[in-house]
């Protein structure tokens, strides 16, 4: 029951506090450590893929042993300290409130008819060029970011927390952080970032698919387009360049009756991507709020689902 309580408290803490910038954040520390490991491994190995594999291995070992060692040491001192540390570590792996805050800031700028501010704010959420986006383009970019980040910012950390506690959640965030840092298809990282990108694909495989189903359930609870969410999820979930991102995006697109994806500019170059969903409605600012509601209900449902599974397994194993 201890881990189930820790996960519950972490979800509540995330909803209450979000991601205050003054708080030392393990994920940011992981990112800095990954860059240091990259520098050392590139010096030792000229073969980029080998250096990348070694970097991933070093970061994962450091994250796993540091987290496990910290919790073990605190447990020797005081069980309450161990419990509290576990809650805080799990809380730092969640980004539901932070995602909602960023998207709400974009919404507010659009409501104030300040396109320049809205472009700057959405640029903090997406990698595409935003300087020429109109209101519909800004709205679409914001919703796509919410839809995609539901997995790596909410459901996947909860999945691995339920599977292996704070250590599992931190290991997942280490993988996700390395993919964000090294998983670029450019000359510098195409080979070096191969291991990080493939491991991230593997780590998100199950959570992404489960998340799509949870979003459909959330759409039903919010009385959105449940049938459409299910239909678009089944039809378009594999149309994304990523093997995992399309699942949550397709479910959100169907629930909101929007078409996501399509062509965007990246670093001045036009990149064509498949569209996801049907253009039943033009993207409007209200859809950002609806996406945030989906985010909240999906967070709660995912927490209940994974905690429920853990409790069921515990009860079953306790039977004579």
Write out pLDDT tens, residues 262-300.
989 988 888 888 999 999 999 999 999 999 999 999 999
> What total number of domains does the chain contain?
1
Q: Which of 302, 275, 253, 290 has the alpha carbon at shortest distance from 103?
A: 290
Residues near 191 by Cβ (< 8 Å), separated by ≥ 6? Answer: 48, 49, 52
- Domain assignment of residue 225, given as a range: 2-317
**Is 188 a residue whose pLDDT tops 70?**
yes
Which of the pair, 316 or 151, is modelled with greater confidence?
151
Token pair of 97, please?
């409130």
**Is 320 a residue whose pLDDT tops 70?**
no
**Is 319 a residue whose pLDDT tops 60?**
no
User: Which residues lie across from 31 on neighbouring strands?
Assistant: none
Tell me how far apart the terminal alpha carbons of the chain are, to the nearest angstrom. Answer: 19
**Is 122 a residue whose pLDDT tops 90?**
yes
pLDDT of residue 315: 81
Angle (CA) 81-87-90 rounded to 5° is 135
Write out pLDDT tens, residues 43-81.
999 999 999 999 999 999 999 999 999 999 999 999 999
pLDDT category at 304 given cuts 50, 70, 90 is very high
**Is 241 a residue whose pLDDT tops 90?**
no
Give the chain's radius of gyration (CA, Å).
20
Express as a percent the part of the chain with pLDDT over 70.
99
pLDDT of residue 20: 84
Write out pLDDT tens, residues 153-164.
999 999 999 999
Please answer whether residues 27 and 169 qualify as being in contact, where contact means their C-beta atoms are separated by less than 8 angstroms: no
pLDDT of residue 79: 95
Judged by phi (left if over 0) then psi (alpha if -120 to 50, else beta), residue 20 lies in beta
Rounded to an integer, the average pLDDT of 224-237 is 95
Q: What is the C-alpha separation between 253 and 65, in angstroms, rounded?
A: 40
């Amino acid at each position: 029951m201890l881990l189930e309580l820790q996960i519950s408290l972490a979800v509540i803490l995330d909803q209450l506090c979000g991601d205050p910038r003054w708080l030392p954040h393990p994920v940011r520390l992981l990112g800095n450590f990954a860059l240091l490991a990259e520098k050392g491994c590139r010096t030792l190995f000229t073969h980029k893929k080998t250096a990348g594999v070694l970097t991933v291995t070093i970061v994962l070992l450091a994250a796993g042993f540091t987290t496990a060692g910290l919790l073990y040491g605190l447990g020797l001192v005081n069980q309450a300290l161990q419990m509290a540390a576990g809650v805080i570590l799990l809380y730092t792996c969640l980004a539901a409130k932070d995602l909602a805050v960023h998207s709400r800031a974009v919404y507010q700028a659009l409501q104030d008819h300040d396109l320049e501010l809205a472009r700057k704010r959405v640029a903090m959420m997406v990698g595409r060029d935003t300087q020429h986006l109109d209101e519909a383009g800004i709205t679409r970019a914001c919703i796509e970011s919410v839809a995609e980040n539901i997995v790596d910012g909410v459901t996947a950390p909860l999945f691995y927390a339920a599977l292996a506690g704070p250590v599992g959640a931190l290991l997942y965030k280490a993988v996700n952080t390395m993919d964000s840092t090294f998983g670029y298809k450019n000359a510098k990282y195409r080979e070096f970032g191969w291991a990080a990108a493939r491991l991230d694909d593997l780590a998100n495989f199950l959570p992404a698919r489960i998340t799509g189903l949870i979003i459909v359930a959330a759409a039903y609870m919010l009385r959105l387009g449940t049938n459409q969410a299910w239909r678009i999820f089944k039809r378009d979930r594999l149309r994304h360049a990523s093997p995992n991102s399309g699942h949550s995006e397709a479910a959100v697109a169907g629930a909101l009756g929007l078409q996501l994806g399509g062509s965007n500019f990246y670093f001045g170059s036009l990149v064509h991507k498949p569209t996801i969903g049907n253009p039943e409605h033009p993207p409007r600012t209200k859809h950002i709020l609806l996406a945030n509601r989906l985010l909240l209900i999906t967070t709660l449902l995912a927490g209940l689902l994974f905690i429920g599974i853990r409790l069921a397994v515990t009860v079953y194993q306790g039977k004579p």
